Amino acid sequence: MSATQTTARSPLETKLAARTAKVGVIGLGYVGLPLAVEVAKAGLDVIGFEISGKKVANISSGHSDIDDIEDATLAPLVKSGKIKATLDAKALREADCVAICVPTPLSKTKDPDVSFIVAAVDTLLPYLHPDMLIVLESTTYPGTTEELIRPKLEAAGLKAGIDFYLAFSPERVDPGNPKYGTRNTPRIVGGTTAQCTQIAKTFYSIFLDNVVTVSSTQAAETVKLLENTFRSVNIGLVNEVAQMCARLNLDVWEIIDAAATKPFGFMPFYPGPGLGGHCIPIDPHYWSWKLKSLNYYARFIELAGDINSHMPEYVVERIGDVLNNEGKALRGSEILILGVAYKRDISDVRESPSLDVIRLLQVRGAKVSYADPHVPSLRMEDGSEMKAIALTDQILAKSDCVAILTDHTGFDYDNICAKSHMVFDSRNATKNVPKGVGKIYKL
């Protein structure tokens, strides 16, 4: 039976159609909270389970710590009882559908860390009941749902596809994207059986605009890895092109923008100080790790990862070069970093290359400070804390070099270039600054 064939309506489908099904969300972070909001807006009650007391307290008071969810959106849903955040896992007993939205980081050796997934499943296991739908949304390696989650859930005696429904649906969150959010981004769904796929599609179709089914959980898991590996490999390419253009004394952004005028066969990607965030620096390694177990070496993935991971070192070298051009040494120079979030106009610093750049600059003896309107303080890898400074004309004039690592739209780049001794721009943020204003060096 194909995943697209319909079956007789189950009790859960009847509940979903009547909007009486209760939905549990395990993990109320950048994936779980937006999901909970969309589900609640569609009329279903949401039980949000979290292990963070602070997060539960914030959500229960109507406050969001997620950039894409405003308090004005969350608070009415909490006040009306459509969203309830809790530290008590027993509340999941009432759920008819459960989405697992927990982190999936890499270990120090770049092996998948599925401990959060395992913990979530162990938390849910005592409350698994017949006709329940469980969907994993956390990005992971192909086979996780079938090989890891299914056996743990079935150990309770119920069978996937018969007694309960199990599926994988990869999150496609792009923090700070003004056009695409949880609701209008097409969603991929793959179940362990055709009925599991159909039930999961019915669930997501209640609150999402477009749900696309695939043949299995493994296929759905691999779709997400392909999406972000595609980006990682292409970013790795343009990061290497940026280094080649610098040696040829060419403007890499001019080259890319000119190439992008071709209406077919080219898609522009842009260089930067390195990769950050929860997906692109991590997801390709999940795929690579899985393939190594099958005695296959993913050459493109590994090469792109190597190029991208060394971009912070290249940025530091370039900053040292531009200082040397001005007769200054990197050691002892005052470097002001503009932007430490991993992308513009958000507060997320996970895997941000800015942290590596700061650390490398400090190791080489530079005096480093930073300004970021979205990140008031920064916890470094060694446990130390940095505080953002106010971006004033005096601070700009005092700095030997101002390095733009995140191109927040709130920065006044004309004034930054005019008041600084020199600017190192790794994001092409100064592209609209009038010629002759300031001394600007590009990546």
Angle, CA 411 vertex, CA 408 and CA 417 arms, to 5°: 120
The rounded Cα 73 to chain-centroid distance in angstroms is 21
How far, CA to CA in Å, does 190 sit from each of 94, 125, 286, 402?
24, 21, 19, 48
- In 395-430, which positions are buried (b, 16+ CB within 10 angstroms) versus exposed (e)? bbeebbbbbbbbbbeebebeebbebbbbbbbbbbbb
**What's the rounded Cα separation, in Å, for the pair 53 and 86?**
8
CA 242 centroid distance within chain: 24
Active-site residue, from 101, 196, 245, 279: 279
* Size (the chain), residues: 443
- Half-sphere exposure at residue 293, Cβ-oriented, CA atoms within 13 angstroms: 10
Chain centroid to CA 32:
12
**Residue for token pair 């292409």:** 234
Q: Are 114 and 140 in contact (CB under 8 A)?
A: yes
At residue 141, the 3 state secondary structure works out as: coil
Catalytic residue list contains 401? no
Tokens describing residue 269: 């990607």
- Known catalytic residues? 279
